[in-house]
Amino acid sequence: MQEAADKVDYENILVEHPADGVGLVRLNRPRTFNALTGPLMDELMTVLEQMDADDSIRCMIIAGTDRVFAAGADIGEMAQATPVELINKAFIARWERLQNLHKPVIAAVSGYALGGGCELALACDMIVASETAVFGQPEINLGVIPGAGGTQRLTRTIGKALAMEMVLNDRRLSADEAARFGLVNRVAPVDQYLDEAIKLASAIAARAPVAIRLAKDAVNMALETTLSAGLAYERNRFYVLFASEDQKEGMAAFLEKRDPNWQGK
Ligand code: CAA
């Protein structure tokens, strides 16, 4: 599967495997600030779904170039669209394919993450930013609102007051602000942010795969449900993991004072 993804020539993305167990997809439309066209999103989601099904990949990274992550949905592509065309093309429904991935996805953001670019990063599980990263939801300048999670994931992440300001008045966040408000996990210089993301992805890729999958699922459930339903969901997944070989191995390794050897079973 990994080889198959590597061999395909994509028009809008670059696919790499920078470390053991890590798949990296780079958005590659530099002349339009990585504006997210339908074909780009299709390529991105197809490759991520392939990586999700590939046993040799344990964690994925989405990055842009060092200059720009993505400046949002392609304005030229949608300027004259009708609602029916947008619905029929699943214009934004594509974004939602990201939330169905089982393995962790890290966004490595440098430069602008605007509109759909910010929403793409927000749909990932973690964000590593470069010092030049700028997060914003400028759709209001175009006479529209965010359509791929900018009013929902952003509000759940940074709270109502700041989300309102970003969505209603194009308030942009620097990398440091984004770190302070809990939008990003860490900030690094431009020449190091991608390595930082790869390091984080490698560390996660080396952990117990079944537990990682259920852990991601359980944390995401916190955004979807009530506390009591979420606690019950978490508890059930905790119990289920006692059916895995990795749970027996992890606890035996601790008691025997050795490193665990995860099988992903
Ligand atoms: N769509 C299409 N083309 C875009 C684009 C976008 N979102 N963002 C930038 N570009 C193109 C520009 O049209 C320009 O192309 P040409 O050279 O052919 O004229 C090129 O990229 C460079 O852009 P600028 O000349 O504007 O460069 P700049 O350095 O002055 O500004 C920028 C960069 C701040 C990113 C600015 O281009 C900008 O504000 N872009 C639009 C950002 C935006 O509004 N994003 C939201 C889109 S709507 C959305 O995403 C909906 C949703 O929720 C899913």
CA of 145 to the centre of ligand 1 (A): 16
What is the pLDDT averaged over residues 51-59?
97
Percent of residues, the chain, with pLDDT higher than 70: 97
CA of 93 to the centre of ligand 1 (A): 21
Ligand 1 site, residue 246, Cβ cutoff 6 A: no
CATH of 209-255, picked from 3.40.50.720, 3.30.1180.20, 1.10.12.10, 3.30.930.10, is 1.10.12.10
Closest Cα to atom 13, ligand 1: which residue?
A: 32
**Residue in 137, 56, 58, 146 with CA at minimum distance from that of residue 95:** 146
Residues 5, 14 contacting (CB under 8 angstroms): no
What's the pTM?
Answer: 0.95
CA of 104 to the centre of ligand 1 (A): 29
pLDDT per position as a tens digit, 178-234:
999 999 999 999 999 999 999 999 999 999 999 999 999 999 999 999 999 999 999
What is the pLDDT averaged over residues 7-34?
94
Percent of residues, the chain, with pLDDT higher than 90: 92
Ligand 1 atom at minimum distance from 76 CA: 2
Ligand 1 site, residue 149, Cβ cutoff 6 A: no
Closest Cα to atom 22, ligand 1: which residue?
A: 32
Could you give the CA distance from residue 179 to residue 219 in angstroms, rounded to a whole number?
Answer: 19
Ligand 1 site, residue 41, Cβ cutoff 6 A: no
Ligand 1 site, residue 135, Cβ cutoff 6 A: no
Q: Which residues are catalytic?
A: 73, 116, 119, 139
Closest Cα to atom 14, ligand 1: which residue?
A: 32
What is the pLDDT averaged over residues 29-48?
95
Q: Where are the beta strands (DSSP E) in the chain?
A: 13-19, 22-27, 59-63, 68-70, 105-109, 112-114, 126-130, 134-136, 173-174, 186-188
pLDDT per position as a tens digit, 130-165:
999 999 999 999 999 999 999 999 999 999 999 999
pLDDT band at 127 (very low <50, low <70, confident <90, very high): very high
**Residue in 214, 80, 79 with CA at minimum distance from that of residue 142:** 79
Does residue 1 surpass a pLDDT of 50?
no
> Domain map of the chain by residue range?
2-205, 209-255
Ligand 1 site, residue 136, Cβ cutoff 6 A: no
CA of 207 to the centre of ligand 1 (A): 39
Ligand 1 site, residue 22, Cβ cutoff 6 A: no
CA of 42 to the centre of ligand 1 (A): 20
Is CATH 3.50.50.60 correct for 2-205? no
What local confidence, expressed as pLDDT, does residue 222 receive? 95
What local confidence, expressed as pLDDT, does residue 6 receive? 57
Q: Dump the DSSP string for 175-244.
A: HHHHHHTTS-SEEE-TTTHHHHHHHHHHHHHTS-HHHHHHHHHHHHHTTTS-HHHHHHHHHHHHHHGGGS
CA of 157 to the centre of ligand 1 (A): 25
Return the best residue to mutate from 32, 41, 172 for the ligand 1 pocket (most ligand atoms within 8 A of CB): 32
